[in-house]
Amino acid sequence: MKKFLTKGQLSILIILVVLIIDQVIKIWVKTHMFWHESIRVTDWFFIYFTENNGMAFGMEIIGKLFLTSFRIVAVALIIGYLIKIIKRGLKTGYIVCISLILAGAIGNIIDCVFYGVLFSESTHSSIATCVPIGEGYSEWFYGKVVDMFYFPIIDTNWPEWIPFVGGEHFIFFSPIFNFADAAISCGIIALILFYSKYLNENMKQSDAVIDAKKEK
């Protein structure tokens, strides 16, 4: 039976679909919602507009310019690796996982590189708009990543009798994330669940090749 798409074409399709969905959602939220505005979908799912300078799920640990540069280098390495495994004809599912991770990484890089110069600032009292290049809220590479998916599945207080945390507010799941983060997470989780053994085998094969070259 003839395949409709090659592994390379499938990878490109996945990346494009993830990027389009991610950017459409982000641009809509950015240009239609106030900063920290919340739209209730269900009791455990909200569209909550926030922005962050950091990595997935809002983590902020290092300088913005370094983080953006690191992301770009990481994406370049992933692209090189993806091309390599496609040429080697590795399993389609494995290629899909790497493609999801790559697409998510590129999606957040777009925010970091371009949003600062393309949009005005989002505040509690003003909704951002598209502006001429250079008139945005920040400089190139200093844009903020737009997050919006919030799933407070459990929102309660710890029982008073529990030591140290008794009576304190507890939320699970508290991180706010975007579609790109979800793509990265799905790719990584699928790799761990279904391809960890496969990944280890390929790493061993690579080490064997390196050792063989050294012996020569």
Tokens representing 79? Answer: 């692209």
Tokens representing 171? Answer: 């939320």
Using alpha carbons, select from 202, 204, 4 the residue that is nearest to residue 95.
202
Cα separation values, 157 from 39, 42, 106, 169, Å: 23, 20, 38, 4
Q: In what order do the strands lie in the sheet with 45-52?
A: 38-42, 45-52, 145-150, 176-177
Q: Find all residues with CB under 8 Å of 7, minimum gap 6, and list them.
A: 86, 89, 92, 95
Marked catalytic residue, from 43, 111, 147, 155: 147
Q: 48 - beta bridge partners?
A: 38
Catalytic status, residue 22: no
Catalytic status, residue 147: yes
Tokens representing 42? Answer: 């269900």
Marked catalytic residue, from 111, 181, 207, 211: 181
* Catalytic positions: 147, 181
